[in-house]
Amino acid sequence: MRPTLLLLHGFPLDHTLWDANVEVLRSKVDVIAPDLPGFGSAGLTGLEVTMESYAQAVLEDMDRRGIGTFTPCGLSMGGYVAMALVERAPERMAGLILCNTRSTADTPEGMIARETTAREATERGMDVIARGMIPKVLGRTTRAQNPGLSGNIERMIARQDPQAVAAASRGMAKRRDRTDVLRAFYRPALVITGAEDELMPLPTSQAMVEALPSGELVVIERAGHLSNVERPDAFNAAVLGYLDLLASWERP
């Protein structure tokens, strides 16, 4: 059986975030890219959705599909969910890929900003959120050189359900520091970030690599927070290289 790679999108996005990656990665593994509860076409499950409950929904989906072990690859909020998965079901994790994310919890200021985002989404609408987020989620090179991608991402954000965005924002504020989960993960892991990611500056990725007993860091130049769409070739190459490493680790 081919190994399974589970792609977990960031906030406030949906599975189409992975459109530039899925086919290429399928050359090596089976790829599943679901919508997290409330996003894309997936139904919302509550007014506040914690990272643990996203992880639970993902595990139930994998059970329904008959998939035992898999490698989660989560970008930003998807990375928080991936770490919650590792905590919840470490025996089912073949590997781990964390992209443009952090293992630490929100600061008190960060938690206040989450509530502001939740209220803005429901009171002012997703167009306002989308316009405000573009300068933060895309690197300066992408914004200068790829207006088409900026438009796609803005539309992806704008079409999300404001209630789901509020629920995720409140859920992210509640997440705990999971650096200890990384310290206990002994299989090979990959950390990817963009050199122009201002939301998750390089030290957050370096800290995760230091915590992981067998972690490797790939920094993608000229990419910001959405490294998988800003530089898909570099991103896909990093993931394919890691999948080769994982396969040789499984068969020493």
Q: Which parts of this chain interact with ligand MLT (CB under 6 A)?
A: 10-11, 76-77, 172, 199, 225
Q: How far is the CB of 11 from ligand MLT (least distance, A)?
A: 3
Q: Which is nearer to ligand MLT, 85 or 172 (CB)?
A: 172
Which residue blocks in the chain are alpha helix, DSSP H?
22-25, 51-64, 77-88, 108-124, 126-137, 140-145, 147-158, 162-173, 179-183, 202-211, 227-230, 232-250
Q: Is 18 exposed, middle or buried (0-12, 13-18, 19+ CB in 10 A)?
A: buried
- Nearer CB in complex with ligand MLT: 62/165: 165
CB of 172 to ligand MLT, least distance (A): 5
CB of 68 to ligand MLT, least distance (A): 27
CB under 8 Å to 147, separation ≥6 — which residues?
none
Q: Which helix (H) or strand (E) holds 96?
A: strand 96-99
Closest CB to ligand MLT among residues 10, 38? 10
Rounded CA-CA distance 62/201 in Å is 32
Give least dist CB 57 to ligand MLT, A.
Answer: 16
Q: How far is the CB of 183 from ligand MLT (least distance, A)?
A: 21
Hunting for tokens 């499950």 — which residue is that?
45
Given the complex with ligand MLT, which of 44 and 199 has the nearer CB atom?
Answer: 199
Q: Is 199 or 247 the residue whose CB approaches ligand MLT more closely?
A: 199
